[in-house]
């Protein structure tokens, strides 16, 4: 795997179709296990994390193959209920298979998940919910041994609106006797997309998008086709790239309502933005101004996944912008790398202050995680000279073809 080489200082112009959502397709791939048959997914992005999920499905005995632009999973031949350590370590969201395998098999064995190092992200909320539904879970040696001989629906209240815990509870509840009601559920659009998929399969799930979700368990299922929603974080990344570099872009196939906090911040910074139907149009001179404090929060608040790319867009803004990270403790790992390009960022705990500089310069930097790596791409596009970004496997976990998309907008970007 090579490095990304990006030559900055060029305005970006053009139109892009936004890829399918990584954070939507991964729980949906886990959910395909719930049906003893075939699921066909359209608008599924070709990502490293998707490849990892396909390897897990194949290990479990399923057939998971690309057929043209569609990803087809046949779970009729599922024969195993364990996921080995080397597959679990590839991505944090691999834990989502726990609820699905329990629903289908009544037992599961897997190790603790891997993924980006963003500080503590305990899965205790996942395990607590599954235990309340009747699962018996033993932890030891870095592995989880789970059995669920009699899972029954009940009322669950999450102490935090965790996306992953909400999804795991939904998938487990599909295999329960009776009705499960999940209170304080996460409200992200990706959970609503999971509900759409499950309902198309035959399950009875209601309320996704609100804080209360109801699941009626053990419904008969059938083969299903589903189109994955567009990736709002990829859209936010490209909007940030054009905002910081200057230019004009139209993003097609994206729900502007899901990006309202991001577009509001970019508008405040000086960008012109219009939304029509399923498209967002943005124009920027590249001369931005500082904005009011940005505080990450669960949806519909400002998304933590967009914090780094917005920060990168504002590196040359006039004034100082305060960022407060309320979701993950270690989400500023990209700051030191951005400072290698000449950024002026001061961090204390969960607070980062971005003081705009007159210019950025190209530099050799390393992607620290998925969204931090995307931030380096955004910064490189507005820097003078050439930047080399290494460890790009992090970026490729969430962006199907970020360099190809940027070249469509006129960027000089390549991999070598």
Torsion of the alpha carbons at 199, 48, 377 and 234, rounded to the nearest 10: -10
The active-site residue out of 116, 146, 174, 271 is 116
**Cα distance between residue 295 and residue 193, in whole Å:** 25
Q: Quote the tokens at residue 181.
A: 């009601």
Q: Is 288 exposed, middle or buried (0-12, 13-18, 19+ CB in 10 A)?
A: buried
Catalytic (active site) residue 271: no
**Residue-wise burial string across 67-80, b where 16 or more C-beta atoms lie within 10 A, e elsewhere:** eeeebbbbbeebee
Alpha-carbon span 88 to 56, nearest angstrom: 8
Which residue is it, tokens 């577009």?
263
CA 157, 181, 127, 59 dihedral sign is: negative
| Region of residue 384 (phi > 0: left; psi between -120 and 50: alpha; otherwise: beta) | beta
Do residues 387 and 9 touch, judged by C-beta distance below 8 A?
no
CB 264 within 8 Å of CB 300 = no
Q: Which of 157-160's residues contact partners 24+ apart within 8 Å by CB, and which partners?
A: 157/182, 157/183, 157/184, 158/125, 158/129, 158/182, 158/183, 158/184, 158/185, 158/186, 159/125, 159/184, 160/125, 160/184
The residues annotated with a catalytic role in the active site are 116
């Amino acid at each position: 795997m090579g490095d990304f080489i990006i030559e900055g200082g060029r305005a970006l112009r053009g139109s892009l179709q936004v890829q399918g959502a990584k954070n939507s397709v991964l729980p949906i791939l886990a959910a395909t296990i719930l049906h003893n048959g075939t699921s066909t997914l359209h608008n599924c992005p070709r990502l490293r994390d998707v490849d990892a999920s396909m390897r897990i499905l194949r290990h479990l005995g399923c057939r998971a193959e690309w057929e043209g632009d569609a990803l087809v999973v046949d779970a009729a031949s599922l024969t195993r209920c364990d996921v080995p350590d080397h597959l679990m370590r590839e991505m944090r969201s691999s834990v989502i298979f726990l609820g699905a395998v329990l629903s289908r098999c009544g037992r599961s064995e897997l190790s603790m998940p891997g993924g980006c190092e963003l500080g503590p992200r305990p899965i205790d909320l996942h395990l607590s919910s599954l235990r309340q539904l009747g699962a018996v879970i033993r932890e030891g040696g870095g592995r989880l041994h789970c059995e669920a001989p009699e899972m029954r629906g009940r009322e669950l209240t999450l102490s935090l609106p965790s996306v992953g815990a909400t999804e795991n509870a939904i998938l487990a509840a599909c295999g329960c006797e009776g009705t499960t009601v999940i209170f304080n559920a996460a409200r992200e659009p990706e959970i609503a997309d999971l509900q759409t998929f499950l309902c198309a399969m035959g399950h009875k799930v209601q309320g996704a998008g609100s804080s209360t979700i109801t699941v009626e368990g053990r419904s008969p299922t059938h083969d299903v086709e589903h189109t994955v929603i567009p990736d709002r974080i990829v859209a936010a990344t490209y909007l940030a790239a054009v905002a910081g570099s200057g230019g004009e872009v139209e993003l097609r196939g994206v729900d502007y309502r899901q990006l309202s906090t991001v577009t509001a911040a970019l508008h405040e910074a000086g960008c012109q933005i219009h939304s029509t139907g399923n498209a967002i149009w943005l124009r920027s001179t590249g001369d931005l101004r500082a904005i009011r404090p940005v505080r990450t929060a669960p949806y519909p608040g400002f998304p933590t996944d967009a914090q780094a790319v917005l920060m990168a867009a504002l590196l040359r803004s006039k004034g100082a912008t305060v960022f407060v990270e309320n979701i993950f403790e270690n989400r500023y790992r990209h700051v030191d790398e951005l400072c290698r390009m000449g950024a002026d960022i001061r961090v204390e705990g969960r607070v980062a202050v971005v003081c705009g500089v007159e210019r950025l310069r190209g530099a050799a930097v390393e992607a620290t995680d998925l969204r931090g790596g995307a931030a380096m791409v955004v910064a490189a596009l507005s820097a003078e000279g050439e930047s080399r970004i290494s460890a790009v496997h992090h970026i490729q976990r969430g962006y199907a073809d970020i360099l190809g998309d940027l070249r469509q907008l006129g960027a000089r970007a390549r991999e070598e």
